[in-house]
Structure 1
Amino acid sequence: MADGKTKAELRGERLAARDAILPVERIEKSLAIASHGAGAIDFEAGAIVSGFLPIRSEVDLRPLMASLRDRSARLCVPVILDKKTIVFRELVRGADLVPGTFGTFGPGPEAAELDPDVMLVPLSAFDRQGHRIGYGGGYYDRAIHRLQQKGLKPKLIGIAFDCQEVASVPFEPHDIRLDAVLTESGYRPFEHSGQA
């Protein structure tokens, strides 16, 4: 922890920086992210890709998800079931979205639950080593762990704006690192072996 800041402090600072992006700028940056991601995210035809529908000042992933769908990805988005669990429900064209927790919307219980091959992960902050700070609820960490318990190893791509990068994220040995991050500046894979 080089600068001595806690995860909570870093989360608050980086989310405030993200909130300060003007809405029109956020649209432009989201489109740049879609443009970079469309060519850089590699997957087999029919692979399951989890994205997310934006809340608050998050990146709007809908243009990127549409592009990935056009490349034969099956899309899904997270739905919060309870205070500890998210599942990924298939997002199909024309399906109704229902209100969920924290101002989210997602497919209803009739939608198929899928296990993602590629996960586009929202975050508060990230560093150059692929460590991330989520929103503090641990939903994604538990979901990723659950997939790993099934023997699956989804590719983890953090989705953020450049202003969310920090010098160093405090991390524990059990923290799961990102394989890459995608911002308006481009797609950056991380070089690391294992998950430490």
Structure 2
Amino acid sequence: MTRTSPDHESPDDLPLGEGVLAKPSLRAEGLARRDALAPDVREEAARRLVRTLLALPELAGVGPIAGYWPLRSELDPRPALAALAERGHRIALPVVSEPSLVFRAWTPGTPLVRGPFGVEAPGPEAEVLHPRALLVPLARFDRACHRIGYGKGHYDRALAALERAGPVIAIGVAFSVQEAQTIPAEDHDRRLDLVVTEAEIVRAPHRAAGAAREA
């Protein structure tokens, strides 16, 4: 289901004119909301993510697909990644590197190594892939598919690098409680193409318009 209007507002949902100064409070509030979710809510969200991603037309036949290994209270995409791999997609996981992320091949059950920031990732022997779709973790999102990450800019740089070789679908993965009314966007911020939560699919305006024309 794709919705077009927000269903909640927060005191820290500041207007676009507040700019960068709004981002720290938006990020902190989103992470606090995410941290507060009960274990059963998290487990159900992970199960729903499997069904949602397998049904996404944007992922039909695309590959490779990059996921992420969950940190702290992030929505767990591992069951969905296993299901996508079973369907025949090549799966990659990000490795923190400079100047941007590197994506290495992963198959379910393959051992990982702990890298920078405590991120579990494939080892240096794993093949480097150039994904055409990315599952992107985040702190906050809005209905225009703007995103607040963790402040390091890793995914903005990675998407810019990957898109030099062709289009890449950027899919935010979040809980619905992480939605904000408005995210202040800067010139270097790359808008997501869609955001998937346990409750719905939110498509960026250009994607939603295209879907409406096809319908």
Q: One fold, TM greater than 0.5?
A: yes
Q: 1:52 to 1:92 in 2, by over 3 A?
A: same
How many percent identity over aligned positions?
41
* Equivalent residues of 2:62, 2:133 under 8 A apart: no
Tell me the distance in 2 between the aligned counterparts of 1:184 and 1:153. 26
CA RMSD of aligned residues (A): 1.8
Aligned pairs (5 A) from 1:1-196:
2=15, 4=18, 6-45=22-61, 47-82=63-98, 84-148=99-163, 150-192=164-206
Q: 1:46 to 1:2 in 2, by over 3 A?
A: closer
Q: Deviations over 1:71-106 (max 9, x none)?
A: 211000111125x43111100244221111222111
- What is the TM-score of this pair, normalised by structure 2? 0.83
How far residue 41 of structure 1 moved from its aligned partner, in angstroms, is: 4.8
Tell me the distance in 1 between the aligned counterparts of 2:32 and 2:172. 18
Q: Secondary structure at the match of 2:195?
A: strand
Tell me the distance in 2 between the aligned counterparts of 1:115 and 1:69. 16
Q: 1 or 2, which has the higher strand percentage?
A: 1
Q: 1:184 to 1:96 in 2, by over 3 A?
A: same
How far residue 141 of structure 1 moved from its aligned partner, in angstroms, is: 0.6
Q: Secondary structure at the match of 1:129?
A: coil
How far residue 186 of structure 1 moved from its aligned partner, in angstroms, is: 2.3
Greater than 4 Å deviation, 4+ residue runs: none
* Equivalent residues of 1:131, 1:169 under 8 A apart: yes
Q: 1 or 2, which has the higher helix percentage?
A: 2
How far residue 17 of structure 1 moved from its aligned partner, in angstroms, is: 0.5
* Equivalent residues of 2:156, 2:188 under 8 A apart: no
- What is the TM-score of this pair, normalised by structure 1? 0.90
